A and B are shown apart, each in its own frame.
Chain A
Amino acid sequence: MSTPAGPTNAELAALRRPAAGNPTWRAVRNYQAINIVVLVTLFLGFCTGYSLLYPDQLRFASLGNLSVLSQQVPVTAIVAIGVGLLMIGGEFDIAVAGTFTLVPFVVAITSAGSWGWPIGVSLLAGLAVALLIGLMNGMITTRLGIPSFIATLGTMFFMRGVIRFVSLNPTTKQPDNIAFFPGDALKALLGGQIIGPIYAQMLWLIGVALIGYALLNRHRFGNHLLLTGGNRDAAVAVGVPVRNVKVTAFMLCAVTAGFAGILQGVRINQVEPSFATISGLELKAIAAVVVGGTSLFGGRGAILGIILGAVLIETVDNILVLISAPETIFKGFLGATTILAVILNTVIGRRARR
């Protein structure tokens, strides 16, 4: 029986450095979103090429269509970043369409008509409502131990009810759209054209993405979030405040959804109550997140992947509209893509590691 030799000094020194090899190349190889980067590039390349060759069949690369995309993609991507961070922590929020509608609703109503609050105050009220929704979702999930899928299903219906109650027109018995004209300054800030097909929403997406990246990859919160989603018991045992981490993630998710809702409201000058019900935004966001390589079970994910997932989902939606496909096809596509992505993430990921 010999005692095994401990590590040599050279081995110990090597351990203190990250693994050997070219660090840039290793980062690329290890990057979880690498598949989606390739996929999105190919897909966009194909669409652009085809529409340049046959502009009459597919008006994808036209200035008008690219403008629409640059205003629509960021809205979905910002929602997806919030949903994705939460999913990395091991929880779901399927109430995002409600938050997305209710928050601009509050801003639109309080800043106009008989309320007439200054827009800054109304925006703060919107932020407060978003934080409150997130807090509620988080508390129901962590304190009462109800699965977030069910908890947020409940808050989703609750918000639908509130929205319908406030916007119901007594004569038509239908909810009315609420006009939203927050002033030229805010409109330029949140939705102005920068240059060509690039709109302000793009810059907001970049801002949200950078904050999300810093939180997830550089800050202790990201560390805690990954551990919480990776293995809850183990996270607790090494001292991670898992409940607070989850509640914070729920609040972040609600704030991003509310902010995206405000971007949308500013662009179309109104808030549509029906959006909370029929948009399928929660499906879109979850599909984008999962397509982007985030684990449906938590503990793994990357911001760039989430954004590219949103680009892919929105581009497919856009193409289907351009070729006048029936709207229902898109929902089918969302479902199928999500399931396929989960299969790819888990099954093939597992096999590749052997």
Chain B
Amino acid sequence: MSEAAVPLLETSGLTKIFGRLTALRSQSITVRTGEIVGVIGPNGSGKSTFFNCVTGFLRPNAGEVRLSGQPIQNLPPMKIARLGIARTFQGTRLFAGLTVRENVRAAAQLRHPSSMLDAVLGTPRLRAVEDKVDAMTAELLGLVDLHRQADRRAGDLPYGDQRRLELVRALATGPRLLMLDEPAAGMDAAETRRLLELISDIRHRYKLGVIVVEHDMDLIMNLCDRIQVLAAGETVFEGTPAAVQAHPRVREVYLGHE
């Protein structure tokens, strides 16, 4: 009941100014658990700025960001990550020198800390925690078919695999809200199709709200429950995929570019 009353993520009046450029103007968005919201717009429309303001990588000049009702706009990004917002980056940021498995383990481990004493002595408690982390890592790698590549260096994977790895690494932190910045970039049609299935699957399996920024209209239209269209830092339209496709102003602003 309270879940219905308080949305998972709610922003209001979110504004970011770079010098003379207002990159984001009074932006509002609402995401509920189990919902996938798409954010689209031409390059420079403020999508990434919006992303970075929500995750704390940029500090907004004005406005509020609430996660389950709690204001988070003034918290540092690592605190926001720990509160349950996981993100991926445009163009991937992996621990390239670590293996595929280590990338996911590292993120999963942060949720299961062990004490110095346990670590040095290798106590049963440590074993139990490690087993839990290993099981979670295995489950996540299996989810994206990277289980056969577990011991490869992450930096050596093909680009599409790197994107999927970054996605499950974000999941390994145990988020409530998952924010994906152009997850299909560099993927072919078949891979994009699998990504679509994956994202719709995990939102139920892990009880997530999801925000997706993407240029691939096929993915956005088939994946999202709602879509918000940005242009020059402002929302010009918000609605279901069908409504967005039908709207003449949206076609002009964005789809016309295709």
Contacts and interface: CB of A to CB of B under 8 A. Distances in A.
B78 A240 contact: yes
A184 interface: no
B78 A241 contact: yes
Nearest to A19: B151
B97 A230 contact: yes
A218 B109 CA distance: 12
A195 interface: no
A237 B81 contact: yes
A219 B116 contact: yes
Interface string A136-174: 000000000000000000000000000000000000000
Contacts, number: 109
Interface residue tally on A, bucketed by range:
20 to 34
B189 to A, nearest CB: 10
Interface in B191-246: 193-194, 197
Contact of B173 (A17, A219, A226, A238): A238
B176 interface: no
A295 interface: yes
A19 B150 contact: yes
Contacts of B55: 237
A25 to B, nearest CB: 15
A113 interface: no
A6 B94 contact: no
A15 interface: yes
B78 A12 contact: no
B72 interface: no
A227 B89 contact: no
A10 to B, nearest CB: 11
A234 B57 contact: no
A223 B116 CA distance: 12
B82 interface: yes
Contacts of A237: 55, 77, 81, 86-89, 93, 170
Interface string A227-257: 1001101101111111100000000000000
Interface of A: 1, 3-4, 6-7, 11-12, 15-17, 19, 214, 218-220, 223, 226-227, 230-231, 233-234, 236-243, 295, 299-300, 353
Given A12-B142, A227-B106, A238-B172, 20 more contacts: A1-B190, A1-B193, A3-B197, A4-B145, A4-B194, A7-B141, A12-B139, A15-B142, A17-B134, A19-B150, A19-B151, A226-B95, A231-B93, A234-B93, A234-B169, A238-B106, A238-B170, A239-B110, A299-B95, A353-B153
Interface of B: 55, 57, 76-78, 81-82, 86-89, 93-98, 101, 106-107, 109-110, 113-114, 116, 119-120, 131, 134-135, 137-139, 141-143, 145, 147-148, 150-151, 153, 156, 169-170, 172-173, 190, 193-194, 197
